[in-house]
């Protein structure tokens, strides 16, 4: 999860002005600002994989794909987040270069430090976006993808995918190969042989 940067003193306009001058990304939740933490290589690869696949599939359409550094505004929750990938097909988002407000699809790549936040506080805020139809969570460690899809009754239904599956993104009428999406995201486990462990020296 992101770490608290400061407490209070910000409204959304003040945050946007302040954030423009910051060397690192910071998210905003109802007056509080949270510094973003670094990510593992596998996280970055997964983000790049799905963003590239979406960009290629949507080329020539009104939809635009953004990666990591474009904020999403959730006005109803008084939040600004940096999703790993965001897709918007709404012309109104071209009028706000610093952020999007009408995403159709949001993607987060999970890590140990962010999983609870992405599933909890962040998803609760994202659900307030009337434009949002699908929320995708990529679990690199488990090689699994979860898609929360809004149905016509405004309920969110979970669909799970793994290697060998075709990932359905109904919001964009697309199917993506899960194997390609997860390509090169498996991390090698560090050696845990006894001879490699630090040795305790008795004194």
pLDDT at position 37 = 80
Say yes or no to pLDDT of 198 above 60: no
Count: domains in the chain? 1
What H or E segment, with its residue span, contains residue 18? helix 12-20
Residue 167 lies in a domain: yes
Query: Is the Cβ–Cβ distance between 170 and 158 less than 8 Å?
Result: no
pLDDT at position 2 = 47
Confidence of residue 113 (pLDDT cuts 50, 70, 90): confident
Residue 129 lies in a domain: yes
Residue 24 lies in a domain: no
Residue 10 lies in a domain: no
Nearest-angstrom CA–CA distance, 66 and 100: 10
Say yes or no to pLDDT of 203 above 50: no
- CATH number for the domain spanning 165: value is 3.90.1570.10
Which residues constitute the domain of residue 90?
39-186
Residue 109 lies in a domain: yes
Residue 165 lies in a domain: yes
Residue 197 lies in a domain: no
Say yes or no to pLDDT of 192 above 90: no
- For range 68-89, the mean pLDDT: 97
pLDDT at position 190 = 56
pLDDT at position 201 = 34
Say yes or no to pLDDT of 197 above 50: no
- pLDDT digits 0-9 by tens, 94-108: 999 999 999 999 999
Range of weakest confidence among 35-44, 130-139, 144-153 = 35-44
Nearest-angstrom CA–CA distance, 88 and 65: 7
Query: Is the Cβ–Cβ distance between 101 and 126 less than 8 Å?
Result: no
Residue 193 lies in a domain: no
Phi, psi of 14 (to 5 degrees): -65, -40
- For range 142-160, the mean pLDDT: 97
Tokens representing 86 are 């965001």
């Amino acid at each position: 999860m992101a770490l608290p940067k400061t407490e209070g003193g910000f409204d959304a306009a003040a945050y946007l002005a302040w954030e423009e001058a910051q060397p690192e990304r910071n998210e905003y939740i109802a007056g509080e600002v949270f510094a973003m933490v670094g990510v593992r290589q596998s996280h970055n690869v997964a983000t790049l994989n799905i963003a590239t696949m979406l960009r290629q599939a949507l080329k020539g359409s009104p939809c635009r794909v953004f990666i990591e550094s474009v904020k999403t505004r959730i006005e109803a929750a008084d939040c600004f987040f940096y999703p790993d990938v965001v897709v918007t097909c709404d012309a109104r988002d071209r009028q706000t270069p610093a952020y999007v407000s009408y995403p159709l699809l949001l993607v987060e790549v999970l890590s140990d430090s962010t999983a609870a936040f992405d599933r909890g506080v962040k998803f609760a805020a994202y659900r307030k976006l009337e434009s949002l139809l699908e929320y995708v969570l990529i679990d690199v460690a488990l090689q699994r993808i979860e898609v929360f899809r809004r149905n016509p009754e405004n309920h969110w239904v979970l669909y799970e995918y793994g290697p060998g599956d075709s990932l359905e993104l109904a919001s964009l009428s697309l199917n993506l190969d899960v194997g390609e999406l997860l390509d090169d995201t498996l991390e090698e486990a560090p050696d845990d042989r006894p001879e490699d462990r630090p040795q305790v020296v008795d004194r």
